[in-house]
Amino acid sequence: MSTTPESTPGSTPSTLRSVGSGGVAGLGAALFGYLVTYLLTSSTIENSTASQVLEALGSDISTWKVVGWVFMSAHGVTTTFPGLFGTTSAANLIESVEAFSPVLYVAPVVALLAAGALAAVVSGASSTRAGALAGAGTTVGYLVFALAGIALFTVTVGDAAVSPDPVTSALLAGVAYPAVLGTVGGLAATALR
SS3 state at 143: helix
pLDDT, tens only, 151-182: 999 988 777 788 999 999 999 999 999 999 99
pLDDT of 188 reads 95
pLDDT interval class at 17 (50, 70, 90): confident
Amino acid (one-letter) located at 59: S
For residue 16, is it within any domain?
Answer: no
Q: Which of 152, 161, 154 is nearest to 86 (CA)?
A: 161
pLDDT digits (tens, 9 = 90+) for 104-120: 999 999 999 999 999 99
78-98 pLDDT per residue, tens:
999 877 666 678 899 999 888
* Contacts with 127 (C-beta within 8 Å, 6 or more apart), sequence order: 9, 190
Residue 4 in any domain: the answer is no
Task: Please check whether residue 18 lies inside any domain of the structure.
Answer: no
Residue 163: beta bridge partners?
Answer: 80
Count of structural domains, the chain: 1
Whether 8 is in a domain gets the answer no
Is there a domain that residue 90 lies in? yes
Give residue 49's domain range: 27-192
- % of the chain at pLDDT higher than 90: 63
Distances (CA, A) of 125 to 3, 121, 138: 18, 6, 14
pTM (predicted TM-score): 0.86
Instruction: Please report whether residue 13 resides in a domain.
Output: no
Residue 11 lies in a domain: no
Report the alpha-carbon distance of residue 101 to residue 35 in Å, rounded: 16
